[in-house]
Amino acid sequence: MASFRCHLLLLTLLSLAAAISAHNITAILEANPEYSQYNSFLTQTRLADEINTRTTVTVLVLSNGVMSSLAAKHPLSVIKNALSLHILLDYYDPAKLHKISDGSVLTTTLYQTTGHAPGNLGFVNITDLSGGKVGFGSAAPGSKLDSSYTKSVKQIPYNISVLEISAPVIAPGILTAPAPSASDLNITALLEKAGCKTFASLIVSSGVLKTFQTTADKGLTLFVPNDEAFKAKGVPDLTKLTNAEVVSLLQYHAVPKYTPKGALKTTKDPISTLATNGAGKYDLTVTTSGDQVTLHTGVDSSRVADTVLDSTPFSVFTVDSVLLPTELFGKSPSPAPSMEPVAAPSPTPVLAPSPASVEAPSPLAASPPAPPSETPAGAPSDAPSAAAEDSTSANGAGHVTSPALLMTVLTVASVTVIASVFLS
């Protein structure tokens, strides 16, 4: 009995500690109006979604006056690249800034993950300067430390840190990079190069390409099946569809807004497509598992495989399967019952009585192994600073809890308790 009470106490303590903090950068910055323009551009470029899906991240924010100067003469796609360089994929609070090994470090940014940053242009140089100052600059050779740490805005150790810096970090060429409009892009050439020649041919022959081109500048996301997807078992014969049905099928693979992968990961509601109209919903639902994103149609599902293009306001992804809407192909069919041969009747033989059989007890089902615990990558070994703790407690904006993780911890703890009770 004493053992049971001990384990019950352990379960209670685990449940209290299981409300793990996540973050919402939009809510954090809304509590600080001096960063309203920076916050607005994070939303417009959908970088806020990328930040919110990261387990460990540091955001270098700019005040409204500095942000206005940066955004004044540049299109949204260039601003997105510039801001991506201010999103560090590691945790830096004020204490860690002053404990950098050898006084200087190169850290990876979100810009490095886009594929647009050759060499080390996607890295930021952080240097602990004399007099207690910390400088920031591009990691490109010959770059200067044109920016410095100003103040701490918010920390949720070791999840997210928001720091204000005095000036933008500018990598060579990042503001002068050409930013062609989406309508100027050769969509068919882009798709053919990505191994989607069948889909490219269909949008040309059906006239859907023109719809994509006119929609792209306002915001467009394409989910394009590769050529092997059209050869897969179960894909309907498209030659038996009417022209209108083919158009609806192709438009079903397009969302009339810019939706990068980070935004897909945070999507909860059904997504409308270009095929959505009064006669049918033609929508998609999204599920995620780690970094994997899956689209569901009601008939089938498909993994979002690769990013072909992510250039605000146009994004293109390849998918593993042709997306089949229920409006054209009905709901997912249930598996047909197996057919067993019917044997011809035969005379029943007379059997000698057999001894009564004793039914063996069924073995207990094995308990599933507990899921492995994970530690966020890049978590520093040193404890959070007093400033970080004060920042965390003083402002609760941006906190959200993780009920799924809570349930996982409680489940593991419950299994442990039950097993211990039976074994004690």
Confidence of residue 390 (pLDDT cuts 50, 70, 90): very low
- Segment 390-395 shows an average pLDDT of 46
Q: Is pLDDT above 70 for 422?
A: no
Distance between CA atoms of 414 and 410, rounded to whole angstroms? 6
Phi, psi of 39 (to 5 degrees): -60, -40
Rounding to the nearest 10 degrees, give the CA dihedral for residues 16, 20, 24, 25: 120
Asked if the peptide bond before residue 313 counts as cis, ω within 30 degrees of 0, the response is yes
Does the predicted TM-score (pTM) go above 0.75? Answer: no
* 350-375 tens-digit pLDDT: 444 444 444 444 433 443 444 444 44
Q: What is the pLDDT of residue 180?
A: 57
Percent of the chain past pLDDT 90, that is, above it, reads 52
Q: Bigger pLDDT: 407 or 160?
A: 160
| C-alpha to C-alpha distances, 305 to 55, 188, 261, 333, nearest whole angstrom | 22, 19, 11, 25
Q: Is pLDDT above 50 for 168?
A: yes
Distance between CA atoms of 258 and 316, rounded to whole angstroms? 10
Adjacent-strand bridge partners of 319 = 225, 304
Q: What is the pLDDT of residue 276?
A: 92
DSSP3 helix / strand / coil % (the chain, rounded to 5): 35, 20, 40
Which of 33-47, 56-70, 181-195, 365-379 shows the lowest mean pLDDT across its residues?
365-379
- The mean of the pLDDT values for the chain is 79
Q: What is the pLDDT of residue 394?
A: 46
DSSP assignment letter at 67: H
* 217-231 tens-digit pLDDT: 888 999 999 999 999
| C-alpha to C-alpha distances, 31 to 23, 36, 73, 212, 280, nearest whole angstrom | 14, 9, 28, 39, 41
User: Sign of torsion, CA 351 354 356 362?
Assistant: negative
